[in-house]
Amino acid sequence: MRNIVIVLAIAALVVIVPGGGTGASVVTQAVWLAFLAAIAWFAMLMYRQHRVALYSLGDRRRTILYIALGVAALTLTATSRMWQTGAGSVAWLLLIAAAVCAVFAIVRAARR
C-alpha cells in the first residue's frame, strides 16, 4: 500500500508541477543513459575476460561475430520504426534471426 501511495504521489507531482512532464522526461533519459552505461561496462568486462578466446577465432569468424552483433544492435535500436509496417516487421525478424544464427554458428564452431 505504501509503495502505491509513493507512485501516486510522484505521478501527482508530474501532473501538478509546471514543467513536471519535462522533468520526468529528463529523469527517464538519465535512467536510460545509466542503463546503457551499465551495458557498455558489462560488454567491456566480457571482452577483457574473453579476449584470448575472441582472437583465437581467427579474423574471418571474429569479423562475422562483430558484424552480427552490430546488425543486432542497429536492428534493436530501430525496432519502433520497423514495426510500423508489415515489411519492416518481416525485415526486423529476418535481421535478428540472421544475427542470432551467425552468433550461434560462431560459438558452435569455436567449441569444436
Q: What is the mean pLDDT of residues 64-76?
A: 94
What is residue 72's predicted lDDT score, i.e. its pLDDT?
94
**pTM (two decimals):** 0.66
46 vs 67: CA distance, rounded Å? 17
Q: 93-107 burial by CB neighbour count: b if 16+ within 10 A, else e? A: eebeeebeebeeebe
Lowest-pLDDT choice from 25-29, 48-52, 67-71, 84-88: 25-29
What is residue 20's predicted lDDT score, i.e. its pLDDT?
66
